């Protein structure tokens, strides 16, 4: 098995990407294509004293996608970019998974349009595992891949979320699914929610009704579906609020000497908490519903995060995620919404 | 001036409502109508040794709105409820403001349909002042009054947010307005955002572009507009995450004795922080754009919170908020979106 890594994407590329890839390859003996400018990558690899038989291969790509470039540039204009070529390796079956820490919008576009959607899936969706009070995560899908959605898209997000929560995160054998809304009762919400609700009830998923914003962190739901606009706002609000609350606590603490001593004593606990709340620790977010596995990680990914992302990608393949997805479409989706014809 | 208080709404009604009203009336000498079941309220008032000349009057209302009743019941069926009659007092000009700690959905419906929309306003919107890193708050509007919005509604939310931030919160003379989206650049977002953006540019508001979820707490924007579905999800996510982060820190702290000592020393700082982050401390949320002032507070409002809500209501009236809103519509909204004809 080979994974195609966009070696030029991310704030610390290519150094961190190469560092992470080497660690991953050594530990798991799964192949990685390092896609990027050949001379730069070769020079970087020379720094390591690597054995010859390591399944680590450079695939040359002349261009790179910048962090502020439009996704349309990535898929239409810069077809010699490391990201584009990495995606193409998956499309052509030369690699099984695509991993990028580069420009998120571009990486999503490459995943959707170069790697392409999986059988039966119209709209791939980003799944984020949020830490919860109960210890086990809650999956929010879609966290930003699709801004204006139809009810059927949300039904398929629920199905992908179910498959991810069950097969990959092993949260539950029959994950509890909710739809993000305002108000708990059926009939509350916007038009999209009201139209999706009866469709979700018709599936064989364990749909338990409306979830509210507060339910993302309680652990009462295993999967919460929403359109990618709302999901992305929730994701960015939560990431930022977590950081800001810690900053505000620090500010308050500074005001008194006694508090400062207290904070010093609390430091190990605060660090453990920070690690728990750091969404990036989860090893990047998968874009579910593409032909191969696509993992998109934070731009600030270090070597460890890159290694984690590669590991997550390999697990998706080892557990045959897309086969399970296809089976679930056939088994859990009602006939009128069925996309798989035999 | 009289304010109509729904004396029966809220988890601690009527005790807290009466306690808060008495404190408010004594301190500010502004009148309050206590709307609710006469015998219950009279009995409660007897507990206090009140002077005769206090401008505190009971208005009898035979029914109450329960916390789980549908807003449609509140406006169509239970027309003898404390909430309905309090709203009617404002509509008829007998009171200038409406305050309720009862069922939020019902209180919004009463505000919109019984009190009614202000001149030039099609859709009143809930404004929430979020604490930010910079100390001054950022106003998010609409936080839940309207689930499916048109671009013009968002333009008017921006105008109401501007007027609130400038005249009531005194954040800035020319508040910086953003529209909540995913991605900073113009052209990023869903259809609603893309259609609203050019309209906001045509106003004379200080519109500075797209805001992301993370910008709610940075203080870089003074007002952020969004539809009420997204706004309500953001509000509930943030409230819940704040609480859960503190819980998670407590859990981590419990794991070691040293951390526990640290936490004890930090307690005053943590309490100060909690107060700062408690959105309820801001005295309830105004529903902007109604004929009188409408303030909706948390169901768990205690006496102090009720007093604060009454104080906020009186300040809206003292500063002639609705007159300023009308002036701003005339001066800041372009002709093609103008709702005020002279």
Same domain (yes/no): A278, A295 = no
Domain-embedded: residue B171: yes
B 284-313 residues with CB < 8 A to A: none
Same domain (yes/no): A252, A271 = yes
Instruction: Give A108's contacts in chain B (Cβ within 8 Å).
Output: none
Q: Is B237 on the interface with A (CB under 8 A)?
A: yes
Helices (H) and strands (E) in chain A, counts: 11, 11
Rounded-to-10 torsion of CA B12, B321, B116, B333 = -140
Instruction: Please report the pLDDT score of residue A186 as a whole number.
Output: 87
Same domain (yes/no): B265, B316 = no
Grouping H, G, I as helix, E, B as strand and the rest as coil, residue B49 is coil
Domain at B104, CATH number: 3.40.718.10
Q: From residue B73, how far is each of B69, B98, B290 by CA, in Å?
A: 7, 19, 20
Tell me the average pLDDT across A308-331: 96
Give A341's pLDDT tier (boundaries 50, 70, 90): confident
Same domain (yes/no): A57, A195 = no
d(CA A175, CA A172): 5
Q: Which domain holds residue A104?
A: 1-121+289-320
Domain-embedded: residue B335: no
Instruction: Please report the pLDDT score of residue B280 as a whole number.
Output: 47
pTM of the model: 0.91
Instruction: Please report the pLDDT score of residue A132 as a whole number.
Output: 86
Give A153's pLDDT tier (boundaries 50, 70, 90): very high
A186 to chain B: nearest residue by CA? Answer: B70
Grouping H, G, I as helix, E, B as strand and the rest as coil, residue A4 is strand
d(CA A158, CA A203): 10
d(CA B313, CA B293): 6
Domain-embedded: residue A224: yes
B264/A262 Cβ within 8 A: yes
Give B153's pLDDT tier (boundaries 50, 70, 90): very high
d(CA B175, CA B138): 10
pLDDT at B113 over 50: yes
Domain-embedded: residue B163: yes
pLDDT at B239 over 90: no
A255 to chain B: nearest residue by CA? Answer: B269
Upstream peptide bond of B142 is cis (omega within 30 degrees of 0): yes
Instruction: Give A262's contacts in chain B (Cβ within 8 Å).
Output: 261-267, 269
Q: Is residue A46 packed enough to be buried (19+ CB in 10 Å), middle (13-18) or exposed (0-12)? A: exposed
Cα torsion angle, B281, B282, B285, B291, sign:
positive
**Among B140, B147, B130, B125, residue whose Cα is nearest residue B276:** B130
The single residue listed with the structure tokens 């900053």 is A247
B269/A259 Cβ within 8 A: yes
Structure-token pair, residue B166: 């400038």
**B17 min Cα distance to partner chain A (Å):** 25
Backbone angles phi, psi at B282, to 5 degrees: -70, 0
Backbone angles phi, psi at B207, to 5 degrees: -80, 120
Tell me the average pLDDT across A190-212: 97
Instruction: Please report the pLDDT score of residue B67 as a whole number.
Output: 85
Rounded-to-10 torsion of CA B289, B292, B296, B297 = 130
A214/B236 Cβ within 8 A: yes
Q: Is A244 on the interface with B (CB under 8 A)?
A: yes
B182, A71 contact by CB (below 8 A): no
Instruction: Please report the pLDDT score of residue B52 as a whole number.
Output: 86
| Mean pLDDT, chain B, whole residue set | 91
d(CA B331, CA A176): 51
Cα torsion angle, B254, B260, B264, B268, sign:
negative
pLDDT at A40 over 70: yes
d(CA B129, CA B341): 31
Give A282's pLDDT tier (boundaries 50, 70, 90): low
**A171 min Cα distance to partner chain B (Å):** 20
Same domain (yes/no): B21, B40 = yes
Domain-embedded: residue B182: yes
| Mean pLDDT, chain A, whole residue set | 91
For chain A, report the end-to-end CA distance as a whole number of angstroms: 29
pLDDT over 70, % of chain A: 92
pLDDT at A15 over 80: yes
pLDDT at A277 over 60: no
Same domain (yes/no): B267, B136 = yes
B113, A156 contact by CB (below 8 A): no
Instruction: Give A180's contacts in chain B (Cβ within 8 Å).
Output: 233
Same domain (yes/no): B265, B293 = no
Instruction: Give B270's contacts in chain A (Cβ within 8 Å).
Output: 249, 252
Grouping H, G, I as helix, E, B as strand and the rest as coil, residue A285 is strand
d(CA A313, CA A296): 10
Give ipTM to 2 decimals: 0.89
pLDDT at B63 over 70: yes
Q: Is B134 on the interface with A (CB under 8 A)?
A: no
**Residue that wins the pLDDT comparison between B18 and A69:** B18
Q: Is A154 on the interface with B (CB under 8 A)?
A: no
Same domain (yes/no): B117, B249 = no
Q: Which of A285-289, A298-302, A325-329, B302-306 has the lowest mean pLDDT?
A: A298-302
pLDDT at A280 over 50: no
Q: Is A191 on the interface with B (CB under 8 A)?
A: yes
pLDDT at B114 over 90: yes
C-alpha of B14 from chain center: 21
Q: Which of A42-56, A63-77, A261-275, B319-333 has the lowest mean pLDDT?
A: A261-275
Q: Is residue B57 packed enough to be buried (19+ CB in 10 Å), middle (13-18) or exposed (0-12)? A: exposed
**What are all long-range contacts of A311-315, with beta carbons under 8 Å and residues at least 24 apart?**
A311/A24, A311/A28, A311/A283, A312/A283, A312/A284, A312/A286, A313/A3, A313/A97, A313/A98, A313/A99, A314/A1, A314/A3, A314/A28, A314/A30, A314/A97, A315/A168
Tell me the average pLDDT across B45-66: 93
d(CA A238, CA A249): 17
**Residue that wins the pLDDT comparison between A192 and A282:** A192
Give A246's pLDDT tier (boundaries 50, 70, 90): confident
Q: From residue B172, how far is each of B138, B221, B279, B285 by CA, in Å?
A: 11, 11, 20, 19
pLDDT at B272 over 90: no
A139, A282 contact by CB (below 8 A): no
**Among B97, B13, B66, residue whose Cα is nearest residue B295:** B97
Helix or strand run (H / E) with residue A154: helix A151-163
Same domain (yes/no): A55, A162 = no
Instruction: Please report the pLDDT score of residue A342 as a whole number.
Output: 67
B138, B43 contact by CB (below 8 A): no
SS3 of A214-278: the string is HHHCCCCCCEEECCHHHHHHHHHHHHHHHHHHHHHHHHHHHCCHHHHHHHHHHHHHHHHHHHHHC
Tell me the average pLDDT across A241-256: 73
Q: Convert the pLDDT of each residue in B7-40 to its tens digit.
A: 999 999 999 999 999 999 999 999 999 999 999 9
Domain-embedded: residue A311: yes
pLDDT at B99 over 70: yes
d(CA B224, CA B206): 12
A100, A299 contact by CB (below 8 A): no
Tell me the average pLDDT across A304-331: 96
Give A269's pLDDT tier (boundaries 50, 70, 90): low
B147 to chain A: nearest residue by CA? Answer: A190
Contacts of B85 (CB under 8 A, 6+ apart): B4, B35, B59, B61
Q: How many domains does chain A have?
A: 2
Backbone angles phi, psi at B109, to 5 degrees: -65, -40
Same domain (yes/no): B274, B146 = yes
Q: From residue B168, how far is each of B120, B165, B326, B328 by CA, in Å?
A: 20, 6, 15, 14
Q: Convert the pLDDT of each residue in B156-207 to its tens digit.
A: 999 999 999 999 999 999 999 999 999 888 888 999 999 999 999 999 999 9
Instruction: Give B228's contacts in chain A (Cβ within 8 Å).
Output: 182
Domain-embedded: residue B89: yes
Q: Which of A24-28, A103-107, B169-173 has the lowest mean pLDDT?
A: A103-107
Rounded-to-10 torsion of CA B87, B77, B232, A171 = 150
B33, B59 contact by CB (below 8 A): yes
Tell me the average pLDDT across A181-208: 94
Q: From residue B113, how far is each of A183, A187, B106, B283 by CA, in Å?
A: 20, 20, 10, 23
Same domain (yes/no): B115, B130 = no
d(CA B156, CA B288): 10
Domain-embedded: residue B325: no
Tell me the average pLDDT across A78-105: 95
Same domain (yes/no): B1, B137 = no
């Amino acid at each position: 098995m080979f994974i195609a890594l966009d070696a030029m994407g991310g704030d610390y590329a290519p150094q961190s990407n190469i560092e992470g890839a080497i660690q991953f390859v050594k530990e798991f003996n799964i192949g990685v294509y390092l896609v990027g400018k050949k001379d730069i990558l070769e020079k970087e690899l020379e720094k390591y004293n690597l054995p010859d038989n390591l399944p680590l291969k450079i695939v040359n790509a002349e261009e790179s996608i910048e962090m502020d470039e439009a996704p349309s540039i990535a898929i239409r204009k810069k077809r010699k970019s490391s990201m584009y070529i990495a995606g193409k390796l998956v499309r052509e079956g030369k690699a099984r998974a695509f991993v990028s820490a580069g420009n998120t919008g571009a990486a999503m576009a490459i995943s959707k349009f170069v790697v392409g959607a999986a059988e039966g899936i119209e709209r791939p969706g980003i799944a984020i595992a949020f830490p919860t009070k109960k210890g086990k995560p809650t999956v929010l899908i879609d966290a930003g891949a699709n801004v204006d959605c139809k009810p059927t898209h949300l039904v398929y997000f629920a199905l992908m979320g179910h498959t991810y929560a069950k097969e990959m995160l092993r949260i539950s054998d029959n994950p509890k699914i909710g739809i993000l809304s305002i108000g708990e009762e059926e009939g509350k919400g916007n038009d999209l929610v009201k139209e999706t609700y009866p469709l979700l009830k018709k599936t064989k998923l364990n749909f338990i009704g409306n979830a509210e914003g507060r339910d993302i962190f309680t652990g009462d739901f295993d999967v919460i579906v929403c359109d990618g606009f709302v999901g992305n706002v929730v994701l960015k609000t939560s990431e930022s609020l977590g950081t800001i609350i810690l900053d505000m606590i620090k500010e308050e603490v500074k005001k008194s000497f006694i508090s400062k001593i207290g904070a010093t004593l609390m430091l190990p606990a605060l660090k453990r908490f920070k690690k728990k709340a750091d969404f990036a620790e989860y090893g990047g977010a998968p874009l579910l519903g593409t032909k191969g596995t696509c993992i998109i990680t934070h731009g600030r990914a270090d070597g460890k995060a890159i290694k984690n992302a590669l590991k997550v990608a390999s697990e998706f393949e080892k557990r045959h995620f897309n086969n399970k997805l296809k089976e679930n479409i056939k088994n859990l989706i009602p006939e009128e919404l069925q996309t798989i014809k035999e």
